[in-house]
A and B are shown apart, each in its own frame.
Chain A
């Protein structure tokens, strides 16, 4: 290949490809410089999609699930289980980095182009539906969290929509990513909260050696296990990270940094999840009726045990978790729609010229916010439906990922290695088994 590619070559490329040149040029310029400072700067510039996807995965629904898990089961079983689910999330998300960097195409685009319209529509409808339902849980988190400070639900939902709209429409990709990373940093608030609970560290350490379940493997326990796995690995994550890698303009030379980015995100995600389990496992577990507390009751207990500062910090964490996930889910929907219908699809594009790209994501956020504000809306039912849709879709989404990662015609030397396939097929097997058991318990609740 000629070292100098003619400028006109880029004129012929799609508009959203050309528009990423500025971000790519920043990376190329840093890579050409020598010294540890420039290497550090390069690392900081390339951090983004992996950290964002993992932190956004600790969304409002996730925070609620982990808090309820700790309250119901303490810290015995779930800390090692969360480490395992973090490892699973890393293995899956690393594949999206490679796929995006090699193909420069998003996940929806790849499924549509490689396996046809049927599977393309199947994936798109599932993703958009699951994203809207998940967004509802994010707005529940935001309104509940701000409710602690006396903010009316209408105001908090409108404010969340406003932040989402401004971040997506006003900022271009790099600025959007940086602002989102700053918001994501707020997710770490749960770590000092866990320390404030003064946990028995010997109990935390012994969880790894004993790994036992209080009360045994009951149906309720199985639901919690499924909810935790469902929270840690979700279909939107595959679509989001691959599209973000493409929109950032990462190439095969950036794969190593993409892996580091994903690993940092995984460590942060697992640390926050474990912190939540430790927090409620220490302060709430063992109380009368702890296994049936909702998030408002848990907040109230935290307020009694930690004081108003503890309650406020938890509420702020819930707001942040809902907000960062709303930003990520909105972008994920827009990217997927743009990829499926071949619209110009980049956060680098101004809103006036790419309104079709921005509209579906923002519309999904507005629908979700409106649903949360409907009096007596069946929010619990919707929350469960999110898990049902995700559990049906997740094995299919990973299978497509696996097929694409083993497609030598498009991946070349970057196809999966044997251990990666073994790990990924084990994950698909685990998810199918968990989803199957979940489906059986939903249809035949007295089976277990």
Chain B
């Protein structure tokens, strides 16, 4: 029964996850990552100020 179930699925669709390799970060993607780092740092600083002043 288990074998039948598996073979029914196997006839139509592949279930295996895609292979994952680390992406080459270059070009506009590199710019996006730097923008993200700057955004995170700025937001953390702003929130830290908010905490320190008791605004949060």
Chain A residues proximal to chain B, CB less than 8 Å: 1, 3-5, 7, 9-10, 13-14, 17-18, 20-22, 24-25, 28-29, 31, 102-105, 109-110, 113-116, 122, 246, 249, 251-253, 381, 384-385, 388, 391-392, 395-396, 399, 403, 407, 409-410, 432, 435-436, 439-440, 442-445
Contact = CB atoms under 8 A, between A and B. Distances in A.
Contact of A392 (B25, B29, B40): B40
A115 B22 contact: yes
B interface majority secondary structure: helix
A392 B20 contact: no
A105 B20 contact: yes
16 contacts: A5-B7, A9-B10, A21-B9, A28-B9, A29-B8, A105-B20, A113-B20, A116-B22, A253-B12, A253-B13, A395-B36, A395-B39, A436-B42, A440-B46, A442-B46, A443-B55
A246 B15 CA distance: 10
B15 to A, nearest CB: 5
Nearest to B17: A104
B44 A103 contact: no
Contacts of A109: 20
Contacts of B10: 4-5, 7, 9-10
Contacts of A21: 5-6, 9, 15
Nearest to A112: B20
Nearest to A5: B10
A117 to B, nearest CB: 10
B56 A249 contact: no
A398 B29 CA distance: 14
Given A395-B39, A407-B23, A442-B46, A20 B56 contact: no
Interface residues of B, number: 36
A99 B45 CA distance: 33
Given A10-B6, A443-B53, A445-B55, A24 B40 contact: no
B47 A388 contact: yes
Contact of B20 (A5, A114, A253): A114
Contacts of A409: 23
Contacts of A395: 36, 39
A25 to B, nearest CB: 4
A136 to B, nearest CB: 15
B12 A28 contact: yes
B20 A115 contact: no
Given A21-B15, A110-B20, A115-B22, A4 B43 contact: no
B3 interface: yes
Contacts of B13: 24, 28, 251-253
Q: Which 9 A-B pairs have the closest CB atoms?
A: A113-B20, A442-B50, A439-B46, A443-B49, A5-B10, A104-B17, A251-B13, A443-B46, A25-B5
Could you say which of A5, A122, A407 has the most chain B C-beta atoms within 10 Å of its C-beta? A5
A104 B18 contact: yes
Contacts of B45: 443
B22 A24 contact: no
B15 A105 contact: no
A28 B8 contact: yes
Contacts of A28: 8-9, 11-13
Contacts of A29: 8
Could you say which of A3, A246, A388 has the most chain B C-beta atoms within 10 Å of its C-beta? A388
B26 interface: no
Could you say which of B3, B17, B47 has the most chain A C-beta atoms within 10 Å of its C-beta? B17
A22 B47 contact: no
A9 B55 CA distance: 58
Given A4-B10, A21-B9, A115-B25, A13 B15 contact: yes
Contact of A103 (B17, B25, B49): B17
B46 A102 contact: no
Contacts of A5: 7, 10-11, 14
Contacts of B36: 395-396, 399
Contacts of B55: 442-443, 445
B31 to A, nearest CB: 11
A135 to B, nearest CB: 19
Nearest to A17: B15
Contact of B47 (A3, A17, A251, A442): A442
Nearest to B4: A25
A249 B11 CA distance: 15
B16 A432 contact: no
Contacts of A445: 55
A114 B5 contact: no
